[in-house]
Amino acid sequence: MFTLTAILVDGTIYASWLFIVAAGLTLVYGVMRILNLAHGSLYAVGAYTAASAITWYLSAGHAPAGSYLVLLAAALAAGTVTGLLIERGVLRLMYGRDEVVMILVTYAVLLILEDVIKLIWGVESYSAYQPYQLLGRLQFGPMTFANYDLALIAVAAAVAIAMWWTLNRTRRGKLLLVVIHDREMSAALGIDVTRVFVVTFLIGGVLGAAAGALTAPVVSVVPGIGVEVIVLAFAVVVIGGLGSVQGALVGSLIVGIARAAAVHLLPEVELFVIYGVMCLVLAVRPAGLFARPAARKI
Amino acid sequence: MRTDPGTRGFLIAAAVLLAAGPFLPKWLSYIATISLGYALVVAGVVLLMRAGLVSFGQGLYFCLGGYAVGAAGKYWNLGDAFVLLAAAVAVSVAVAALLGLLLARYREIFFAMFTMAFSMILYGLLSKSQALGSTDGFNVSHATFLGYAPVALQGWLYAAAVVLSMAVAIALQRYLRSGMGYAGDAIRENEIRVEYLGISVYRVVYLKYLVAAGLGGLGGGLAALASGHVGPDMAYWTTSGEFVFVALLGGTQHIAAAFAASFLFELIKTYAFELSPYTWQMMLGVVLLAIILFLPSGLWSLVARGREALR
């Protein structure tokens, strides 16, 4: 019972973090048909920016409670700037190419940004643990949980609700769904697809950077964190079905709880479990849980 | 039997490389051996790419081959280089025979992601297994050649790598000119029409995946023997990314491109890594973007263009 509760809570915390990363990735794929490997770099840039911004803010002697605002501002700034650079600087030149080629393009961007990060922040590790400690811990029976981690669940839920609301209940969101459904037809009906692309990529970028920023207080930020996170986010997105936001939500819950179960019961198979689940799902539903079947073109 | 120009080229290359062997400085023959191993893996990537499939997980077989060589030497005291390499190929092909059943159903990004997932599974397993040195890997014992244990191991390895890889290259080049080889190009162009012609696309893709896996295992085995060390990083997805990079750098028209590009890559990597470790990946990324934008058929298209001009 004790282990089961721990698995469920840990799994949900992990899933919340995964969802914030994966939501941006899947949104960008759904609209632009780009499987963005550089999403990992956006995550890393977000984490570094947040860590240095919080350290700078606190060392200036401001109130510690403000560090959460600083964290969000850092995520917004990092995601917008990096996202604009990637979209306007590189991707714009490549639109219309094969999906596989676009993977390679974003792989190149990832390689470049990995080194840009090292040039800006160096190779030493950064940490900004204060926002994590500030919230304290919650005693729950024999277990303690960090309130920061529990707050992460709330943030992820807010992101999920906001995305659902925007996509299904607002005019702009519906236009986005239309573009996801059929890009050529929506362009023919007068939707400015290029603008939709830029906006989508920026939203995806901010989500990626936000996930990084939210992680910055929990872990020490070191080179290579973006590369690690991207393969996890892929597993989530592929399980749920590429381009589907509900899919990302369900996928992150599956992966989160599977991983937490592995960590508590059999730590040796931690990475194995994530991809094992992914292979299992894909073997049964080749395009993921929530993907619509594509028509074969002759 | 008529020797086609490709075969002749590889025979000449093998003769030149073997003759030059004793005169090469040690660092150069080391780089050459490693890059021959790399090139075999890249040749497998090229083979799949010609059928329109990008494998982001050839590191799986690179790593399996390397660990097969290392483990066979460590646990069963096998020392003969050719036996070890045969074991590397056998293990890789056996694993691919299983995974291929599933993978041959997938195309495009799904193929790319699925191959990557499998190699990450191996990475996860190896980096957690204490017996195989977890994240550090372990050292590979010195190889012998048909019972002979040479003092100057590296020269022998170099010669073995040249003979093996050139033989493989000739076989591959002939394969690409065979019916099965052209079926790959046809699948990239239009799969359904290939089915209408009565060819099983599934079987062609499955076979190509097996061949690519065998090449990956052989390359990994060679790299393990040459560097004397294996580690789980061989299966990390960035290693697989490097193979795709080199395949694109060379281009997919000719198998020789894979060898030329691998050598170039290893050479630049060695120097760039020493000169500026923090901008090395950035250079790779910029080159990759430049190739995709300006030279989508790779460096080999320059060679082909030069030949046209001479004609």
Axis-axis angle for helices A147-169, A171-181 (nearest 10): 80
Whether B91 shows a pLDDT value over 50: the answer reads yes
Q: How far apart are CA A242 and CA B20, in angstroms?
A: 52
- What dihedral do alpha carbons A7, A8, A14, A19 form, nearest 10°? 150
Question: Helix (H, G, I), strand (E, B), or coil: what is residue A145?
Answer: strand
Whether B101 contacts chain A with CB within 8 A: no
Nearest to B120 among A97, A112, A271 (CB): A271
Chain A closest-CA separation from residue B22 CA (Å): 38
- Residue of chain B whose Cα is closest to the Cα of A101: B292
Nearest to A101 among B110, B282, B292 (CB): B292
CB contact under 8 A, B192 and A298: yes
Query: Which chain B residues are closer than 8 Å to A97 by Cβ?
Result: 292
CB contact under 8 A, A104 and B125: no
- Check CB contact under 8 Å for A278 and B117: yes
State residue A229's pLDDT score: 86
Q: Tokens representing A37? A: 């490997």
Q: Is residue A49 part of a domain?
A: yes
CB B100 within 8 A of CB B208: no
What token pair was written down for A73?
A: 């501002």
Among candidate residues A11, A5, A2, the one with its CA nearest the CA of residue A259 = A11
Q: Which stretch, B53-67, B98-112, B250-264, has highest mean pLDDT?
A: B53-67
- Put simply, whether B265 touches A (Cβ < 8 Å) is no
**How far, CA to CA in Å, does B207 sit from each of A10, B48, B118, B134, B183?**
43, 10, 18, 32, 11
Give me chain B's average pLDDT, please. Answer: 83
| Arithmetic mean of pLDDT, B117-143 | 78
Tens digits of residue pLDDT in A78-90: 888 999 899 888 8
Q: Which pLDDT does position B2 carry in this prediction? A: 56
Residue B61's nearest CA partner among B213, B212, B237 is: B213
Judging contacts by C-beta atoms under 8 Å, the chain A residues touching residue B113 are 35, 234, 238
Q: Domain residues of chain B, as ranges?
A: 5-310
* Domain B5-310 class, CATH top level: mainly alpha
The chain-wide mean pLDDT, for chain A, equals 84
Using CB atoms, which residue from B112, B124, B192 is nearest to A271? B124
Q: Which residues of A touch B241 (CB under 8 A)?
A: 107
**Residue B285 contacts A where some CB pair is shorter than 8 Å:** yes
C-beta atoms surrounding A267 within 10 Å? 9
If we measure between CA atoms, which residue out of B150, B170, B157, B167 comes closest to residue B31? Answer: B157
Give the pLDDT confidence score for residue B1 in this predicted structure: 47
pLDDT range class, residue B147, cuts 50, 70, 90: low
ipTM of the prediction: 0.81
Bridge pairing between strands B229-230 and A143-146:
unpaired
Angle at Cα B195 formed by Cα B189 and Cα B197, nearest 5°? 95
User: Which has the higher per-residue pLDDT, B66 or A286?
Assistant: B66
Query: In the structure, what pLDDT confidence band is assigned to residue A295 with cuts at 50, 70 and 90?
Result: low
A89-113: average pLDDT: 85
Nearest residue to A279 (alpha-carbon basis) of B117, B239, B11, B201? B117
The reported pLDDT for the residue numbered A292 is 67
- Per-residue pLDDT reduced to its tens digit, B34-64: 888 889 999 999 989 888 888 888 999 999 9
A238-251 pLDDT tens trace: 888 888 888 889 99
- Give the closest of A90, A116, A234 to B113, CB-based: A234
Q: Are B216 and B267 in contact (CB under 8 A)?
A: no
Distances in Å between the Cα of B71 and the Cα atoms of A259, A283, B140, B174, B264 are 29, 31, 8, 33, 30
Structure tokens at B212: 């690519």
The residues that bridge with B144 in the sheet, in sequence order, are B80
* B177-198 pLDDT per residue, tens: 888 888 888 888 888 888 888 8
Q: Does A119 touch chain B (CB under 8 A)?
A: yes
Using a pLDDT cut of 90, give the percent of chain A over it. 7
In 3-state terms, what secondary structure has residue A146?
strand
Q: Quick one: pLDDT at residue B74?
A: 75
Q: Which residue has the higher pLDDT, A96 or B182?
A: B182
Looking at residue B109, its pLDDT comes to 78
Least confident stretch, A175-179, A278-282, B20-24, B149-153: B149-153
The CB-side HSE value for A227 (13 A sphere, CA atoms) comes to 20
A294 lies in some domain: no
CATH of the domain at A274: 1.10.3470
Q: Which residues of chain A have a CB within 8 Å of the CB of B237?
A: 231
Contact B109 A119 (CB under 8 A): no
Higher-pLDDT residue of B23, B4: B23
**What's the pLDDT score for residue B93?**
92
In total, the C-beta contacts within 8 angstroms joining chain A to chain B are 116
Taking the C-alpha atoms of residue B20 and residue A48, their distance in angstroms, rounded to an integer, is 50
Taking 90 as the threshold, does the pLDDT of residue B213 lie above it? Answer: yes
Per the listing, tokens 């393969």 go with: A231
- Which whole-number Å values give the CA distances from B30 to A153, A282, B56, B270, in the listed order? 52, 42, 26, 11
Cα–Cα dist B286/B309, whole Å: 29
Looking at residue B209, what is its pLDDT?
Answer: 92
Residue B116 has pLDDT above 80, yes or no: yes
Write the CA distances from B48 to A1, B214, B263, integer angstroms.
49, 13, 21
Confidence of residue A72 (pLDDT cuts 50, 70, 90): confident
Q: How far apart are CA B120 and CA A42, in angstroms?
A: 22
Confidence band for A298, pLDDT divided at 50, 70 and 90 = very low
Q: What is the pLDDT of residue A132?
A: 75
- By residue range, what is the domain housing residue A58? 2-284
Residues of A in contact with B124 (CB under 8 A): 269-272, 275
Three-class secondary structure of residue A138 per DSSP: strand
B279 and chain A in contact, CB less than 8 A: yes
For residue B277, what are its two tokens?
Answer: 């470790």
User: Could you tell me if A228 lies within 8 Å of chain B, comparing CB atoms?
Assistant: no
Question: Cβ separation of B121 and A272 shorter than 8 Å?
Answer: yes
Cα A25-A112-A110 angle, rounded to 5 deg: 20
